[in-house]
Amino acid sequence: MEAVESFLNENGITEVESTFPDMTGNARGKFYPTRKFLAENGGKIPETLLVQTVTGDWAANHYELVDSNDRDMILSPDPSTMRIVPWADEPTALVINDCYAPSGIPHPLSSRAVLRRVLKLYEDEGLKPIIAPEVEFYLVQKNIDPDYELKPATGRSGRRESARQSYSIDAANEFNPVIDTLYAYCEVLGLDVDTLIHESGAAQMEINFLHGDALSLADQVFVFKRTLREVALKHDMYATFMAKPMKNEPGSSMHLHQSLVDVTTGENIFAGQQEGEFSDAFYHYMGGLQRFTPAAIPFYAPNVNSYRRFVPENAAPVNFKWGIDNRTAGLRAPHAPLRATRIENRFPGADTNPYLAIAASLACGYLGMKMKIKPSSPTDGLAAEEGDTVEVSRTLEEALRLLEDCEELQEVIGPHFVKAYIGVKRAEFETFNRVISSWEREFLLMNV
């Protein structure tokens, strides 16, 4: 705690947000006066928070997953995550905690512990994953009634976008006040954000992060989501990371660029002998992504809304093909210098828990390398032609069954965690499945 205390004292912090990511990737935790936070040395919090659903309920089997006494777990602040909160009214810092069971072991239901578990497998092989996320989101008008459809936010002109504005500078400039505040907050928070573009949806943006350490980037995406929501509220609008917030607009993704570095030599092990060539490790990693992504989909598409994104002709992957610099494929190898040879996983949605999405992608690649799985030949041209079968699961319930049947992926992620994750997500699916939609009332009420 010495490094934490030093940071708090140097910055005159009077309040601390002590947080950790729950299963959905949202922040849970406590607010502390600084003196109380230091006295508690991290503190404790109920472990049942790790198996809470997005609706605030719990999985039906949650007392099979956590202690039936509803016991506390131990929080341990990670000094590397200390940041000043730029939107707070008084000097406030946030810190992300690692979660531990009372026995002192990393809590098996912690998202951060899951990512650490997968990274340890790479460490044991002398490898370090390098990650670069690209996060899409929408700016929308405030909507306090969930029965009303969302509408894109209006920018400085007061006019709502009505045409596709992909990469448009003018369309992005409509939201300059929001963007300026966002970059200012990110600088204070130490988030390694790079470029921002206007995506193809109305008031849809994408922000890219600089490549780096996998756990650090997961932490940064976790903090970034909170930051953007605060920025949007400051400008009287909402920011949403829903995978498919509006029916006539494209979905939002979180593409993950990934490569592996040999810790001893510093060399990128995906690179071949000359530019445009790939190593055996690259092909095996790609083969693992192809084979195990069907079972990993619940980590890339964690909500019932996520599956509305996987539709034909909508710039989202619907099969498991890969291609070289082919954005129509779910797995892409961008043209790049040898040192930057990498794979882009285009399956994760913006609504994913960044710790779990990164862990799942690395787990698939790890299995591919250990099992020496060969991928298919790269796809040239459209990865999905009109009329092709959609191979990706179309519902959360279907995807969970594939995960449940994949022992290899469960073993890498952690069997107990996967059991809990399936329990939580099944509870969410059943809650959603009880809702009767307006479509059903419109077309079935008098016609069946």
CB of 116 closer than 8 Å to CB of 419: no
Helix (H) or strand (E) holding 16: strand 15-21
What confidence score (pLDDT) does residue 386 get? 66
What confidence score (pLDDT) does residue 160 get? 86
Class of CATH domain 119-413: alpha beta
Residue from 133, 386, 84, 365 nearest 241 by CA: 133
CATH 3.30.590.10 residue window(s) in the chain: 119-413
CB atoms within 10 A of CB 63: 14
What confidence score (pLDDT) does residue 314 get? 63
What confidence score (pLDDT) does residue 387 get? 67
Which of 278-302 are b and which e, b meaning 16 or more Cβ less than 10 Å from the residue's Cβ?
bbebbbbbbbbbbbbbbbbbbbbbb
Q: Given 3-state DSSP classes, what are the helix, strand and coil percentages for the chain, each rounded to the nearest 5? A: 40, 20, 40
CB of 299 closer than 8 Å to CB of 288: no
Which amino acid, one-letter code, is at 327?
A: R
CB of 251 closer than 8 Å to CB of 243: yes
Phi, psi of 47, rounded to the nearest 5 degrees: -75, -15
CB of 217 closer than 8 Å to CB of 209: yes
What confidence score (pLDDT) does residue 326 get? 93
Crossing angle of the two packed helices 354-371 and 280-300, in degrees rounded to 10: 140
Which of 215-227 are b and which e, b meaning 16 or more Cβ less than 10 Å from the residue's Cβ?
bebbbbbbbbbbb
Tokens at 283, concatenated: 């092909």
The β-bridge partners of 16 are: 32, 93
CATH 3.10.20.70 residue window(s) in the chain: 2-107
CB of 364 closer than 8 Å to CB of 371: no
Residue 398, phi-psi category: left (phi > 0), alpha (psi -120 to 50), beta (remainder): alpha
d(CA 228, CA 282): 35
pLDDT tens, the chain, 448 aa long: 788 999 999 999 999 999 999 999 999 999 999 999 999 988 999 999 999 999 988 887 777 888 878 899 999 999 999 999 999 999 999 999 999 999 999 999 999 999 999 999 999 999 999 999 999 999 999 999 988 899 999 999 998 887 778 889 999 999 999 999 999 999 999 999 999 999 999 999 999 999 999 999 999 999 999 999 999 999 999 999 999 999 999 999 999 999 999 999 999 999 998 887 999 999 999 999 999 999 999 999 999 999 999 987 667 899 999 999 999 999 999 999 999 999 999 999 999 999 999 999 999 999 999 999 999 999 998 888 766 788 999 999 999 999 999 999 999 999 999 999 999 999 999 999 999 999 999 999 999 9
Class of CATH domain 2-107: alpha beta
